[in-house]
Structure 1
Amino acid sequence: MVSIYDIAKAAGMSAATVSRALADNDKISRSSRDRIQRIAEEMGYRPNLLARNFRQKSSSMIGLITDDVSDELSGMIAKGVEQALRESGFSMLVWNVHHDSENEQSAIDYFADMQMDGVILADSTLDALAEVPTTKLPFVLINRYSSAEEPVSIVCTDDFAGGLDATDYLIKLNHRKIAYINGPEDWYSSIRRLNGYTEALNQHHIPFRSEYVKHGDWFEDSGYRLALELFRSEDPPTAVFAANDMMAIGIIDAARECGLRVPEDVSVMGYDDRTIARYARPRLTTISLPMLEVGFIAGKVLCEMITTGHMPEGKTAKQLVRGNVIERETTAPLKG
């Protein structure tokens, strides 16, 4: 590997002069800089970026902390962040924390040691209102909220609007007996989607029925199991809204087991618009979760914070991104 000492020997100059020339320091004459840089290129020199980062206390890189980038939704966030960073001249390093708060703090500490310019926290380790992990780096939260006193920048999907839009859509198909299979009760996204569901019922003067609300765990089996309870009850719903697509797939399976046709006998609606929603049979009506846009906005916000040095002042800056109803084949107007 070619070093600055090799270049210095070839150029007949000191290593210090070569180092300054390669950094394009204007204390070295333009002609000397051009000559040294030409020699370095001819010799195939590659700079030690890590060492440069420590000298300059900057890396033009940000750290993205996520649960698991191989997950479809986390992957869309990463793609959006990467696009925003590329447009602003930054690069990205990803750390998967797998729902582990200690792993999250280790990632933040590592990014600080590596002189990263900022951090985006897109994991759900602290899903509800929570203290932000300790960091002196500029940071942006994605789909997380903080009870910390200091102001922070947050970019979130509008879960309240999503719950409202999904329920309103089913009501406009003449459904009045609409059940809701939610995620875990203590997840902030679950709380907001449930609030949206309740608000839509209120707006249309439909009584809220507690027996129509169940709490699952985001996976197909919980949607299947809870839907069986609903379909076998004395007054089963004519439509079921699930807080994510995976539970909605379980609901469709439960409907088949109970001899119900989707959507002729019961309408089913999901949330997320994962790839599986397009390939399920029948194809799943759902609410889109605009994670690509969320990631892009978060990346832009962080880049602006880094380049301008302006941090949130006075209060938390929150941006909400609203999804859309994606109409497919699992919903239909109620007959009669």
Structure 2
Amino acid sequence: MITIKDIAARLQVSPSTVGRALADDPRISAATKKKVTEVADEMGYVANLAARMMRGVSSNLVGLVLPDIRNSFYSTIAHALSKCVQSAGFQLTLSETEDDRMVELHHIRELASANVAGIIIVPTARPHRESVRLLKLSPHVQLIRRQAAIGDQFFGIDDTQAIFDATNHLIALGHQRIAYLGGTDELPTGAARLAGYQRAIETLPRNARPGPDLVRLGPPGSVDFGREAMGELLSAPMPPTAVVAGSVRITQGILEALMARRIAVPDQLSVVGFGDEVGFSWWGPGLTTIGLPVHDLATACGLWFVHQIRQNAAAGAPYASIATATMIHRGSTRALAGAPRERAAVSRSKSPA
């Protein structure tokens, strides 16, 4: 294996000069760094990560900790972040938690032991105290979900407004028995999305508001939950006339249930999904859904985080970037039969801040 001493002998300089050049030390001239890098590449030199760790030097790894890579919502995030950090000379390493706080702790411990340059995390509902402690020892940023205990540097989506707009769209079409299938309110995203639904429902006359029997909360990453919950609602004595989904995977479950029962959409049921998967545009009449700026959000997070790492801003000032979702109107929603043709939509001035 080629070592720093081999490179130094080839260039007839000291090993310390080579080491500093490879570490991008400002005391070494750009010309020397260039020459050292060229010879290192020519000789096939590979940095010894273990040795760097013993010296307390951060690696070029950026850890990404998220719930489920099978969810295209998160795979899009991982892809965008990988491209972003790679262009800056870092390498993304991926860890899945399946929303298990102990698995999350295990991954964070491993990343910390590898002296990662930083960690981007979609946290679980109740991160372990040790996870919080370890995260605070390294540059880190929360993505999609925000847990106050972890810190106040965050990139996310205005979940409350997104579900408010989706529910309000159905109210404007004359629907009142509007169901909501979303993630558990133990998660910050689940609570925020449920709040959007509830605030929209509160704009209806009190005697026309749907009851809690039309709300189903469960694992946001579970297609099975979405399918089973939708099946239960369809079998109820008074099924909903419309439904709003609160996650991508729950949307997929809802669509599976509707197809299995041959529900005519939107004649029998109006549907608003969450996210815009490739198949959503051609599913049935085309799915009206909440469009999420996932790729742009992840890219912005990656660029900002790389800058923070380079500025050695481990304990930087609070920072929050909140992206706005958009309604994508297709054919899966329509005015409720018998409802007034022109029902004024609730204005955005009444929407949650």
Q: TM-score, normalised by structure 2?
A: 0.77
Given that 1:122 and 1:141 are in contact with CA atoms closer than 8 Å, whether structure 2 keeps it comes out as yes
Segments of structure 1 that go 5 or more residues without pairing to the other structure are none
Aligned match of 1:127 = 125
Segments of structure 2 that go 5 or more residues without pairing to the other structure are 339-353
Given that 1:248 and 1:268 are in contact with CA atoms closer than 8 Å, whether structure 2 keeps it comes out as no
* 1:113-124 → structure 2 map (5 Å cutoff): 113-123=113-123
Equivalent pairs, count = 330
Encode CA deviations 1:101-136: one digit per residue, 9 max, x unaligned.
23322332333332322111125xx22688552220
Aligned match of 1:308 = 311
Given that 2:246 and 2:273 are in contact with CA atoms closer than 8 Å, whether structure 1 keeps it comes out as yes
Structure 2 CA distance for aligned equivalents of residues 171 and 180 of structure 1: 13
Aligned match of 1:209 = 211
What do you get for the CA RMSD once the two structures are aligned?
A: 3.5
1:192 Cα deviation from its structure 2 partner: 1.6
Relative to structure 1, the CA distance from residue 256 to residue 15 in structure 2 (aligned partners, 3 Å threshold; closer, same or farther) is closer
SS in 2 for 1:120: strand
Structure 1 CA distance for aligned equivalents of residues 161 and 29 of structure 2: 61
Structure 1 CA distance for aligned equivalents of residues 197 and 118 of structure 2: 36
Aligned match of 1:328 = 330
Q: Which moved more, 1:83-92 or 1:8-17?
A: 8-17
Structure 2 CA distance for aligned equivalents of residues 12 and 260 of structure 1: 77
Aligned match of 1:173 = 173
Given that 1:130 and 1:145 are in contact with CA atoms closer than 8 Å, whether structure 2 keeps it comes out as no
Aligned match of 1:66 = 66
Is the counterpart of residue 160 in structure 1 residue 160 in structure 2?
yes
SS in 2 for 1:146: coil
Structure 1 CA distance for aligned equivalents of residues 98 and 306 of structure 2: 26
Relative to structure 1, the CA distance from residue 177 to residue 294 in structure 2 (aligned partners, 3 Å threshold; closer, same or farther) is same
Given that 2:7 and 2:40 are in contact with CA atoms closer than 8 Å, whether structure 1 keeps it comes out as no
Relative to structure 1, the CA distance from residue 193 to residue 14 in structure 2 (aligned partners, 3 Å threshold; closer, same or farther) is closer
Relative to structure 1, the CA distance from residue 129 to residue 269 in structure 2 (aligned partners, 3 Å threshold; closer, same or farther) is farther
Structure 2 CA distance for aligned equivalents of residues 224 and 20 of structure 1: 58
Given that 1:105 and 1:134 are in contact with CA atoms closer than 8 Å, whether structure 2 keeps it comes out as no
Structure 2 CA distance for aligned equivalents of residues 38 and 202 of structure 1: 64
SS in 1 for 2:133: coil
Structure 2 CA distance for aligned equivalents of residues 259 and 71 of structure 1: 26
Is the counterpart of residue 105 in structure 1 residue 101 in structure 2?
no
Structure 2 CA distance for aligned equivalents of residues 129 and 39 of structure 1: 44
Structure 2 CA distance for aligned equivalents of residues 7 and 183 of structure 1: 55
Letter in structure 2 aligned against 1:106: H
Is the counterpart of residue 293 in structure 1 residue 292 in structure 2?
no
Q: TM-score, normalised by structure 1?
A: 0.81
1:191 Cα deviation from its structure 2 partner: 2.0
Is the counterpart of residue 48 in structure 1 residue 47 in structure 2?
yes
Aligned match of 1:227 = 230
1:334 Cα deviation from its structure 2 partner: 1.9
Aligned match of 1:142 = 143
- Of all paired residues, the percent bearing the same amino acid is 28
Aligned match of 1:190 = 190
SS in 2 for 1:269: strand
Relative to structure 1, the CA distance from residue 137 to residue 255 in structure 2 (aligned partners, 3 Å threshold; closer, same or farther) is closer
Aligned match of 1:240 = 243
Relative to structure 1, the CA distance from residue 127 to residue 37 in structure 2 (aligned partners, 3 Å threshold; closer, same or farther) is same
Letter in structure 2 aligned against 1:137: S
